[in-house]
Amino acid sequence: MTARFFRATDQSGSAYRQLSDCSGRIATLLEKPEIHSQFAFLACLDDLLGAVYSLFHAVHHSYASRPEILKQPDISAVLLRAKDMNRCEVRTDGKWTAGYYFNGALFRLASVYHRALQIVVGTQGERFEVLLRKTRVWFKSCQGSDWATPALRKVSDEVNGLKHSPQGIFTGRNVAFEDAVQATEELLALLETFQATGRKPICDPAREERIAAIEHVVYEYANLMSAAFHSLRGPAPMRTHSDDAFLLGYRKLGDFLMLDIRRYGDEIIALDYLPMGAVRSWNLPIWEDTWRKPMNKQLTHIAYARIRQPKPWDHRKWVPGLEAEFREAWSSFWTTVSDTDFMAEYRRQLHHCQKKEGFSEIKL
């Protein structure tokens, strides 16, 4: 099927040019190979492009701002649309269609706004105001200037009204088309700075805390390798206990290696130890694609999913592959760490674990 396009008209040329520029900036970001493993960043760009797409359609359908309250003719038009759709007749032009696309753009912009703050700050567990304050500090440290967001504030307030107030925007819009375009540009300024500065998010732990945390990371790693060893070689029923320990440890350390941001604000993650701009070169495909989701129910919950979506576990089949892929990822991670203090503490803690009773036969 041949793709269908519409083109700008003379009357909407200025708006189209602004949206074209925004689209080009998003394309430039998407062309950067280093972001292809940053799924949260890519998801933001996808939704931001969707907002620009909706704004294109709003202009195409002759969007006009409506700062005043809805009147009876407006309500009659809504009733007419409802009756049309009841007959499966869906109109694809007009002011209502333009407003539909504009509202969709606002929702996407507000969503990317919040998620972009989480990516920059590196946590999901903090209030919006805290995320915004930390992001402003980070941006100024990178650019030497404040991150101005007057349009994003208007968009966020409008969407909160759409979501939470009983009347929605019945009494009129407070965001003009120009505000939505400016909000897009404000988001792009943040995302472009983040991409240029490096993929490592800003984080709270001090350097001393990161060094102290290595003891706990290596402790979990040693226990994981011990559990794998005894799962394959230990006697029953100790094998079953080792399986549980192996899977629980894999889940903890899998998150350590693979998380880009802290879900709850205080997780220790591998990105804490990487140099600025480093790209994650490792993956855990067997765990991520096959076992992480089912083990959430089969290991940490006693759930009916064990009956409704059972996934048989055979330690002889799965432990060798999971252990091998983890060792490879673990090695790739520490190879990327260049800080001499981090590496010295890692080697010290690894040597300490290797000397513990029962670990002499286990390769760490």
At 260, list the tokens.
């880009």
| Both structure tokens of 112 | 């990317």
Distance CA 343, CA 349 (A): 10
| pLDDT tens per residue across all 364 residues of the chain | 566 777 766 555 688 899 999 999 999 999 988 787 788 899 999 999 999 999 999 998 888 877 666 666 666 777 888 898 899 988 888 888 888 999 999 999 999 999 999 988 887 778 899 899 889 988 888 888 999 999 999 999 988 887 777 766 666 678 899 999 999 999 999 999 999 886 555 667 889 999 999 999 999 999 999 999 999 998 888 888 999 999 999 999 999 999 887 777 788 999 899 987 777 889 999 999 999 998 888 887 888 988 998 888 999 999 999 999 999 999 999 999 999 999 999 999 999 999 999 999 999 9
For residue 208, the tally of other CB atoms under 10 A from its CB is: 9
Q: What is the pLDDT of residue 5?
A: 74
Query: What beta strand segments (E) does 215-358 contain?
Result: none
The pLDDT score that the predictor gives to residue 317 is 95
- Contact between 337 and 273 (Cβ < 8 Å): yes
Closest CA to 124 of 136, 109, 134, 137: 134
| CA nearest neighbour of 332 among 280, 288, 285 | 280
The residue among 107, 103, 133, 110 whose CA lies nearest residue 120 is: 133
**Domain limits of the chain?**
13-197, 207-354
What is the CB neighbour count within 10 angstroms for residue 355? 9
Output the furthest CA–CA distance in the chain (Å, rounded): 82
Cα-only R_g, the chain: 26
